[in-house]
Amino acid sequence: MSTTLNGPIPGQSLTDTPGNYPWERPPETADPTEALSMHLKKMAGPKYMESALFLMELGIPAEVVTNTTLTMAIGNGIHSVDVGLIIAPAIHKEVVSIAEMAGIEYVEHFPEDAEKEQEAKDMLQAKVIAKMKSSKPESKTEISQTMEAMTSPQTEKFEDMREQDAPMDMEQAEEPQEPPTSEETGMGLMSRGA
């Protein structure tokens, strides 16, 4: 019985010439303000607006459109993941305002419950597939790219990172606490704690 493996050979990435892909090179910008400006300029264009509105009308949450936008920019070498995490709230606000200006009903996030979230994702995938079968050929590639980006491990990882690093409101932010001094803990500087 023979099996063929279609994946890369282990260590293959170490033998490739560095810098073949945009994400392997330094990003175009490391300044969050400049990156946000680049995103807003692109988002103001009719192609982006049409695609974003179409996806939100299908039921794709604004958060997913935001994450997909940022993931694609990271993959294209526009900015780093760090910058994406910093500008994500502003991009999300812009995506929501695009939907509100167009007057479409949109969903902000997937449901919190894991089971309901999976049902929503399955239903959304069925809607997208049905729409792809009935849509024009040029929009099919955009939809399929968005579906690939939505279900990619990179997007899931980015969403997880955003959830972990969610910025707190100024009201919720607490003063940084000082670490206990050696007098408070009863230990000297070089002593080992239990």
Confidence (pTM)? 0.56
pLDDT tens digits along 161-182: 666 665 544 444 444 455 555 5
Does residue 130 sit within a domain? Answer: yes
Does residue 115 sit within a domain? Answer: yes
Q: Nearest 5 degrees, angle CA 81-CA 83-CA 87?
A: 115
pLDDT tens digits along 44-95: 999 999 989 988 888 888 999 999 999 999 989 999 999 999 999 999 999 9
Q: How many folded domains does the chain comprise?
A: 1
Does residue 20 sit within a domain? Answer: no
Does residue 172 sit within a domain? Answer: no
By C-alpha distance, which of 112, 113, 146 is closest to 129? 146
Which amino acid is residue 87, in one-letter code?
I
d(CA 92, CA 98): 10
Tokens of 118: 């999976």
Q: Nearest 5 degrees, angle CA 173-CA 176-CA 180?
A: 145
pLDDT tens digits along 113-159: 777 777 777 777 777 777 667 765 555 555 566 666 666 666 666 66
Indicate the DSSP class of residue 190: T
pLDDT value at position 39? Answer: 93
For residues 131 and 26, the model is more confident at 26
| Residues spanned by the domain of 112 | 28-164
d(CA 104, CA 49): 12
Does residue 19 sit within a domain? Answer: no
Does residue 10 sit within a domain? Answer: no
Decide if pLDDT at 35 tops 80: yes
Measured between alpha carbons, how far is residue 72 from residues 51, 80, 93 in Å?
Answer: 14, 11, 18
Does residue 135 sit within a domain? Answer: yes
d(CA 150, CA 127): 14
pLDDT value at position 121? Answer: 74
Residue carrying the six token digits 């695609």: 51
pLDDT value at position 145? Answer: 61
d(CA 180, CA 183): 8
Tokens of 129: 């597939």
